[in-house]
Amino acid sequence: MIEVEYQGYKILIGSNQDENDMLVKTSNSNDYWAHAHGYSSAHAIIVNPTEKRVSAKIIKRACCLIKANCNKLKKINPLSFNYTRIKNVTPTEVPGQVILSEHSNLSV
């Protein structure tokens, strides 16, 4: 697992499906989740200690970290990411696989 501090936020990046699954299952409801749309890749969690909305700059940084740490995603430009609060993410029985009840998109 990769852990990065950025502008006062902790960003966690899973390195495999089991870590992705653990990140989703252990995050708090105010935390944010991000993932490359349409690709099998790392999940990112932005640890949010408040109920305030996380800025687009922080979310974009998390998406850039996912892209930078996945060889198959590095050369895709632009790459679309889904992001949402973790409370909108439901894990399935398959480790690392989730269902989103609502989300937004961002291209990097």
pLDDT tens digit string along 48-105? 999 899 999 999 999 999 999 999 999 999 999 999 999 999 999 998 899 999 999 9
For 86, which DSSP code?
G
Report how far apart the first and last C-alpha atoms of the chain are (Å, whole number): 22
pTM of the model: 0.94
Assigned token pair, 84 = 């949402």
Q: Cα separation of 6 and 11, whole Å?
A: 7
| Cβ(11)–Cβ(20) below 8 Å | no
pLDDT on residue 24: 96
Q: Cα separation of 60 and 75, whole Å?
A: 17
pLDDT on residue 25: 95
- The conformational region for residue 58 under phi > 0 = left, psi -120 to 50 = alpha, else beta, is alpha
pLDDT on residue 96: 86
